[in-house]
């Protein structure tokens, strides 16, 4: 059984091809294993990130609810303040009308003219006039 050089070369060639195939298969297994590990790591990282985002979203939600309550309270206080201011302005306007009527009556302007100029009723003008008369009597 003589083996010729060409047969030895053929055998070596086949052995090299088999070794390359085995090496390729091992490389593919390592690549698949690394890929699977990376996918697992990525999945774990995503789970952690999702949990963090959920926690942050819960905090933001609670914070916005608190801000909403504070805003509603501020709006309520603003409305109350605006109502009080309106009431005060009305009081000031009424007081101004009575003061203006008193000044006009003091100058000797007729009662009917005072009613028309100041915008108070005739009864109110009479009342202001009576107060002024009483005040003058008290001072004398």
Tell me the pLDDT of the chain averaged across its residues. 86
- With pLDDT > 90 as the criterion, what percentage of the chain qualifies? 46
**Ramachandran sector of residue 109 (left: φ over 0; alpha: ψ -120 to 50; beta: rest):** beta
Give the CA distances from residue 73 to residues 4, 80, 85, 108, in Å, rounded to whole numbers and listed in that order.
102, 11, 18, 52
Predicted confidence (pLDDT) at residue 11 exceeds the cutoff of 70: yes
Per-residue confidence (pLDDT) for residue 35, from 0 to 100: 94
Owning domain of residue 26: 5-139
Q: What is the pTM of this model?
A: 0.42
Residue indicated by tokens 């070596």: 12
């Amino acid at each position: 059984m003589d083996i010729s050089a060409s047969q030895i070369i053929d055998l070596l060639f086949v052995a090299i091809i088999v070794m390359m195939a085995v090496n390729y298969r091992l490389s593919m297994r390592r690549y698949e294993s690394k890929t699977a590990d990376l996918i697992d790591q990525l999945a774990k990282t995503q789970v952690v990130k999702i949990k963090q985002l959920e926690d942050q979203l819960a905090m933001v939600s609670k914070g916005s609810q608190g801000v909403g309550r504070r805003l509603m309270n501020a709006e309520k206080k603003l409305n109350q303040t605006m109502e009080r201011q309106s009431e005060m302005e009305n009081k000031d306007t009424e007081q101004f009308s009575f003061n203006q009527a008193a000044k006009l009556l003091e100058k000797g302007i007729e009662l009917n003219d005072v009613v028309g100029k100041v915008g108070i009723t005739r009864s109110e003008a009479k009342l202001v006039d009576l107060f002024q008369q009483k005040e003058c009597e008290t001072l004398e």
